[in-house]
Structure 1
Amino acid sequence: MNISLATAVGLAATLLAFAYTVPQMRKLVHAGTAAGVSVAALANSTISGTAWTAYGVAEREIWVILPALLTLPGTAGAMVLAWSRGGNRDRMWLPVVWASSIAALAALVPVLGSRPFIVALGCSITLMVVPAAITAWRSADVSAIAASAWAMLIVDAALAGAYGLLADIDANLIYALVATSGAALILARLAVPPHLHARLVRLPEGIDPDVARDDLSLAA
């Protein structure tokens, strides 16, 4: 049986898309805290996964449908856990605005064409990585963030971008660029020692920058 390069890349992206959502949910299951985790980011990711799935169905692209669909259990599960375990709830208006915006753009495709929807969909990962990065960089304790999830997101973005090139899907290319940049920013935060972070970012009164957990390293 001959498998095309696009199919091979799509299959790899599907497997990795599911895999990269597991570490964060698993870490939240075992940790007693959701320190440094943005609930808004996870909510945005869940909405985006739903939108990507719908887009794949509309375009009849199985390797767009499956990766998006398989991220939903992990991101939705992590969102619920982060909410219940004291995750950061700042900017919770973002998921509402994002869901409304993507629904409106989808409804306006007959009028505006598909380009605005595709650009918004490709940039949707921004609504996960930006709140997550802001929360991480503003938090003294980032022990609940699974670094391995963000590292795998970079690999997933590379595969998504490769499939976008092979299948001529612009939304995938935009996603790859934004996801890689955002994940790298979060990994950079996790690599910063607590005492150095305290010098870079002013912490709230009463926060001891030297109080950190062993799993602040990249070996999440």
Structure 2
Amino acid sequence: MSQPEKERADGSSTFYGEEVSRTARLAREGDIRAFSRLTALYWEKVFGMVYYRTMNAMDAEDITQEVFLKAQTRISGLKDPLKFRPWLFSIALNLVRDFQRKKKLLSILGLEAGAGPDLDTLGGRAFESGLDQAMKREFWEKVKEFTAGLPGAEREVFLLKFLDQLTLEEIAQVVGKKPSTIKTHLYRAVAKFRKNPRLRSISREVL
């Protein structure tokens, strides 16, 4: 599967909400063109999610392709087309975990000495909120250090919320936990973020 073309400048390939649900329903019924539209919409978002957990563009590309291949073979079992995005992200997250177990990485972030994201690798659309402006190299180094010290559950919820831009309900669906549990993990992670003296100066911009 090759990487889909980017959205046109006029945004005409962008679609959300009910249209995503309708397209996912068609894809579930075997419509290949419908699945291609979903792939075009979510490719960069999934790639961004995977990249920030592997820290390697080639690995992220391979895993992203595998995500959509698996999604295409499994979409007939998608129960609720409205939940296509968290369903897709759960596939991506599981594949990242499998990859990291196989590579025996130290953590889900794939942290290595001196490693940092190549920001030129990712399209700006991967981060569509205040985080896209704050995610510069200096900021990343601070956040990377911070998230490395979080318990696994808090780290994953923090990343899914502020890097991947999922809602609390979607995060709950991705990780298979109750929304109340997600809120608890997120509250603890954000509280630690704001109390961190190295991050205090930028926490207002990001959170």
Instruction: Answer whether TM exceeds 0.5 for this pair.
Output: no
- What TM-score does the superposition give when structure 1 sets the normalisation length? 0.30
- What TM-score does the superposition give when structure 2 sets the normalisation length? 0.31
Q: Which of structures 1 and 2 has the bigger CA Rg?
A: 1
